[in-house]
């Protein structure tokens, strides 16, 4: 019997099926999605690396799989991919850490 | 690393490779046959067009043992084309107007008659292409003047460089290959190859170093040009992005790494009717090191000959070769 988990790798290939229950919105989303990832002011490789970083920030296993493959296909190497992840980590970590200013403010307010 | 042939590996047998491939096809309706996809696109039967390229594999001998090699080439392969077979190819060429002769291997330059063959092709006024693995140029002093030799005969040089990072290139082609390839590229640049206005064409071939498909060719070309110029002062003309076919050593890699099935799914999902209409077998005559005839390099490596009544170069002299006739 197939092991039941919240995330099934095979579901990634079914992403397009989300349009089944709302074709109009689904089509609009996927058209937009396709447009976003086309080469523009940023190259396809740069966009794949941004997506990879965001995938880590939002901790989406589907997206991590998809954009690891996409980054490799667009010519990124391991060093670029790991640097992209560190950008996400720096922002996520920084976002937590910057709140410590509030902590410091509050602590100072309450302290002699 | 030894070739599959030297290891007596099961996959060294092409009939076994064909069995694996046909099993994948039979495994489920998820993977439709290529012929089925062609029929859907109105391309079946896929007929030959004009014969544009005579591709000659002058031998399986190579100074490298790349992990993805569809020829299973390497230093332990001794099969090379004789001058007599080359002469048959030239006799056939002389009777046609085929404009391009594409020389491949192994490392074609390791065949002792390679330079003679290029000179004869050049004398017939045909464009020679050499599939140069780059490292051969720096492998031994006797090969150091290859760039000058290529330039003298206006040979178009087409060279594999799977990545602008050393780690990804070496993972596929062997330790230290990237560094030696860069040295060879600089030697080619020094005689004018890849330099704008020189008329000496140097194209690089990108193929994925793993179980994934290549991305957009134009985007990869821009990336390669920027990185190679900035980091290594190397220039080239075009980047050709190609897909690894799941045969021979690449098939072994896919099976060993557990990627075979998902790779086949990726290939099927990426089926492109426009590309299918322009596959090289429609306009190529591929000749094996032993003179056997095929309609493309990949079929050659699977021992899938052209029609049985035209099995080798010995029949090329009469009647004149014609792609339609051969098939």
Q: What is the pLDDT of residue B234?
A: 98
A74 vs B contacts (CB less than 8 Å): 215-216, 219-220
Q: How far is A74 from chain B (nearest CA, A)?
A: 5
Q: From the list A70, A73, A77, which residue is nearest B163 (CB)? A: A77
Is B104 exposed, middle or buried, given 0-12, 13-18 or 19+ CB atoms closer than 10 A? buried
Q: What is the pLDDT of residues A12-26, one digit of tens each?
A: 889 999 999 999 999
Q: Cβ–Cβ contacts within 10 Å for residue B306, how many? A: 23
Task: Report ipTM for this prediction.
Answer: 0.73
Please enumerate residues of B whose Cβ is less than 8 A from a Cβ of A.
163-165, 167-168, 206, 208, 210, 212-216, 219-220, 222-224
Helix (H) or strand (E) holding A92: helix A78-98
CATH code at B74?
3.20.20
CATH topology of domain A42-112: AhpD-like (1.20.1290)
pLDDT for res B327: 29
Model pLDDT, residue B25: 60
Domain enclosing residue B65, as ranges: 4-326
> Looking at residues A83-111, what average pLDDT do you find?
96
Range B130-138 average pLDDT: 98
CB contact under 8 A, A72 and B210: yes
Q: Which of B164, B212, B219 has its CB closest to that of A72?
A: B212
- Overall domain count for chain B: 1
- pTM flag (> 0.90): no
Tens-place pLDDT, residues A33-90: 999 999 999 999 999 999 999 999 999 999 999 999 999 999 999 999 999 999 999 9
**Confidence band, pLDDT 50/70/90 cuts, at residue B31:** confident
pLDDT higher than 50, residue B324: no
């Amino acid at each position: 019997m197939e092991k039941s988990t919240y995330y099934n790798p095979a579901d990634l290939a079914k992403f397009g099926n989300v349009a089944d229950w709302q074709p109009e919105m689904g089509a609009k989303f996927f058209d937009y999605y396709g447009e976003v990832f086309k080469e523009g002011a940023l190259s396809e490789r740069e966009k794949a690396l941004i997506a990879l970083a965001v995938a880590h920030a939002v901790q989406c296993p589907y997206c991590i799989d998809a954009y690891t493959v996409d980054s490799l296909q667009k010519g990124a190497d391991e060093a670029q991919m790991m640097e992209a992840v560190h950008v996400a980590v720096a922002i996520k970590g920084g976002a937590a850490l910057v709140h410590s200013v509030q902590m410091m403010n509050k602590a100072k307010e309450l302290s002699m | 690393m030894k070739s599959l042939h030297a290891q007596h590996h099961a996959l060294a047998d092409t009939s076994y490779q064909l069995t694996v491939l046909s099993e994948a096809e039979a495994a489920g309706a998820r993977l439709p046959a290529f012929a089925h996809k062609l029929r859907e696109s109105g391309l079946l039967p896929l007929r030959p067009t004009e014969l544009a390229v005579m591709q000659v594999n002058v031998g399986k001998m190579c100074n490298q043992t790349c992990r993805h090699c569809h020829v299973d080439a390497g230093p332990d392969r001794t099969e090379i084309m004789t001058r007599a077979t080359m002469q048959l190819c030239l006799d056939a060429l002389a009777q046609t107007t085929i404009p391009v002769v594409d020389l491949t291997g192994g490392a074609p330059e390791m065949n002792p008659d390679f330079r003679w063959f290029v000179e004869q092709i050049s004398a017939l006024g045909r464009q020679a292409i050499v599939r140069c693995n780059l490292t051969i140029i720096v492998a031994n002093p006797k090969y150091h003047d290859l760039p000058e030799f290529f330039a003298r005969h206006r040979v178009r040089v087409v060279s594999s460089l799977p990545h602008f990072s050393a780690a990804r290139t070496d993972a596929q082609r062997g330790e230290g290959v990237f560094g030696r390839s860069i040295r060879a590229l600089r030697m080619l640049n020094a005689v004018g190859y890849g330099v704008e206005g020189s008329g000496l064409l140097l194209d690089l071939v990108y193929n994925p170093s793993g179980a994934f498909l290549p991305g957009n060719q134009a985007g990869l070309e821009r990336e390669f040009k920027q990185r190679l110029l900035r980091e290594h002062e190397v220039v080239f003309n075009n980047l050709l992005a190609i897909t690894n076919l799941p045969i021979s050593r690449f098939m072994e890699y896919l099976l060993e790494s557990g990627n075979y099935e998902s790779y086949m799914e990726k290939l099927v999902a990426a089926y492109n009717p426009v590309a299918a209409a322009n596959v090289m077998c429609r306009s190529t005559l591929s000749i094996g090191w032993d003179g056997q005839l095929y309609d493309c390099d990949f079929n050659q490596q699977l021992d899938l000959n052209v029609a049985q009544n035209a099995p080798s170069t010995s029949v090329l002299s009469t009647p004149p070769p014609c792609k339609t006739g051969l098939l």
